[in-house]
Chains A and B, each alone.
Chain A
Amino acid sequence: MKNKKIIHDGAQPEIEKPTAEANRINNESKPFLKVVRILFIIICSILVPLSLILFILLVVPVLKEFAPLQKTGIANIKDLKKDQNYKKQIGLLTKDIQRLSLKVNAYTSGQSYIVVNTTENKFYLYTNKKLVREGFCSSGSYTMLQTSGNKKWVFKTPKGKYWIRGKTTNPVWKRPDWSFVEEGSPIPPKDDFSRYEYGVLGDYALAIGDGYLIHGTIYKRFLGMPVTHGCVRLNDEDLKVIFNTLNIGSKVYIF
């Protein structure tokens, strides 16, 4: 009120009237300001939701880790150590641990066994818990052979624990149905002579069950690659060592 009075009482300040030049500049800058304003709104409408999303996706998970958790006090009470019940409990636990450790250690056989890594196509031969030989092998190709009649075969090496069920020298390959289907040849009767092929499995073969074998190969350039129909192929020297080292019942670990 007072201010108003002062203004009314005193001399009015001279208001500069806009000149034609100033009007022109004002009119020219208006569209520019409008563009800036629109740009500002667009940037804001992008940045604000984006920062919200980033907050939810990146900041909140970090905040979760800052939640105050109550930690149970851990103590080293001296009196407790003298307590008979404490000593008894510690004794029982130590005995249990010894017993369980023996059980865990007994799992690794002192006898010979082979480990096959199907991802890297490598094998490792162990004797007395020590690695004695390693090298390349070939394992299942992960190919699914499909016929127009919707018959399917998947060529992969089975994973898990197996054991040697049989050992053969100069093995003969009895071709299964899929080997004919794969070539587009008609499937012969069960014991037809065309099913028998000599020399393709190398000098030795070790059966691990379900028709899967560890054997040699004539395709040595493919060693280290996943190309087989499920069997494990080795080169001649490695196969000979493995054949002579592993006995029937020896473990085969495939992963």
Chain B
Amino acid sequence: METEIKNKPHRKITFVILISLISVFLIYYSVMCMISPIRKLEEIKNEYRAKTSKKSDVDQRILMDTAYLKLLKDKATLQSRIVMAETDSIYLTINMADNSANLEISGVVVHKAKMSKVQTSKILLEGDDNTILSILATPLTISHAFATIKKEPLMIKMAPKDTSEYKPDIMPDTSIAEPVNYILETSGGIRIYVYQDENARINEKTSQFRFDINDRIRDTWSALKRVAVLKVPEYHPFIKIRLPRTDAKIIFRALPKNGQIAVFS
């Protein structure tokens, strides 16, 4: 009885210390995460400044003019389309102004898709026009892709040893509609999230939830690793779009592994 009485305040202190430590860590982690977009914006601004100071002697006031910036944006859009068209490869253009996502080959639009919903991170939406301009000026190159479907659905078939073992191919089952959600991580750190529009079935909802949670876990894990060594976590500006399932699938399968994407606003 006496030891129990003695243990209680000790346990209480441990509990209070534990709660305080967790709270301090949560505050520290949240603050570090909130700093990350500010750092990223600074990085982009510095990059943009370095680019513009090299080649133009334009009056700084002109750079703040809406009419001038609009023209500059149009020029950047056309320039990046030309850069991609010269590559002979398949690339994606996302036009946020008219909600379209188009596949192009050598400047020819080969597939058009309508985006039903577009959500962009604050840095791209409210950063400033110069930031967006610097992002538009060069096409983004895909460095990684996380998806719920395979890029190339290869089936391995062993060759028969003789004609007696030969079996003719059966008709492929095209009725299977697997959920299509993917993330295209680009070299500039921008992530393009593509979700299928159809989300009525339970398996579609659970697939998207699992896909989303996995992405958050990946992101949190890398942030925790950086925070643990007192570094600001990396921030990835994002563009989240919703497309019809077939369009989302067509785009994912058509884009090369290191394909290019241009985002226009």
Which residues of A does B touch, CB under 8 Å?
Answer: 52, 55-58, 60-61, 63-77, 80, 83, 85-86, 89-90, 93-94, 96-97, 100-101, 103-104, 106-109, 113, 115, 117-120, 141-148, 154, 156, 159-161, 181-185, 221-222, 224-227, 251, 253, 255
In Å, the complex CA distance between A66 and B36 comes to: 11
Give the residues in chain B near A120, CB-CB below 8 Å: 246, 250
What residue of chain B has the Cβ atom nearest to residue A183's Cβ? Answer: B166
Q: Determine the interface band of chain B, counting residues with CB < 8 A from chain A.
A: 35 or more
Q: Kindly state whether residue B258 has any CB partner on chain A within 8 Å.
A: no
Alpha-carbon gap, A86 to B68, bound state (A): 9
Q: Interface SS of chain B: helix, strand, loop or mixed?
A: helix
In addition to A57-B220, A86-B62, A144-B154, 4 A-B residue pairs with Cβ atoms within 8 Å of each other are A61-B219, A72-B129, A97-B74, A181-B159
Quote the shortest CB–CB distance from B215 to chain A (angstroms). 10
Asked if residues A142 and B122 are in contact (CB atoms below 8 Å), the reply is no
Choice from A65, A104, A156 contacting B78 with Cβ under 8 Å: A104
Give chain A nearest CB distance to B214 CB in angstroms.
Answer: 11
- Which B residues are within 8 Å of any A CB, using their own CB? 22, 26, 29-30, 33-38, 41, 58-59, 61-62, 64-69, 71-72, 74-75, 78-79, 81-82, 85, 88-90, 103, 105-111, 121-123, 126-130, 152-166, 169, 171-172, 174, 213, 216-217, 219-220, 235, 246, 249-250, 253-254, 256
- Report the separation of the CA atoms of residues A65 and B30 in the bound assembly, to the nearest whole angstrom: 12
- B88–A71 contact, CB under 8 A? no
Residues of chain A within 8 A (CB-CB) of B59 are 83, 85-86
A101 to B110, CA, bound (A): 18
Q: Which residues of the partner chain A approach B213 to less than 8 Å between Cβ atoms?
A: 57
CB closest chain-B residue, reference A255: B254
A72 to B52, CA, bound (A): 16
- Using known A-B contacts A90-B68, A255-B105, determine if residue A67 contacts B37 with beta carbons closer than 8 Å: yes
User: Of A69, A76, A100, A161, which one neighbours B41 at CB under 8 angstroms?
Assistant: A69
Given contacts A71-B128, A72-B129, A93-B75, contact A104 B157 (CB under 8 A): no
Of residues B75, B127, B165, which shows the largest number of chain A Cβ atoms within 10 Å of its Cβ?
B75
Q: A226: nearest residue on chain B (CB-CB)?
A: B172
Contact across chains for B75 and A60 when beta carbons are under 8 A apart: no
Picked from B74, B105, B220, B253, the residue with its CB within 8 Å of the CB of A160 is B105
Query: Roughly how many angstroms separate A120 CA and B254 CA in the complex, as a whole number?
Result: 11
Q: Is the CB of A104 within 8 A of B82?
A: yes
Q: List 21 A-B pairs, Cβ < 8 Å.
A: A57-B217, A60-B29, A66-B34, A72-B128, A72-B129, A73-B64, A74-B65, A76-B66, A77-B61, A80-B62, A83-B59, A89-B68, A104-B107, A107-B108, A141-B169, A143-B169, A148-B161, A159-B90, A183-B163, A184-B164, A184-B166
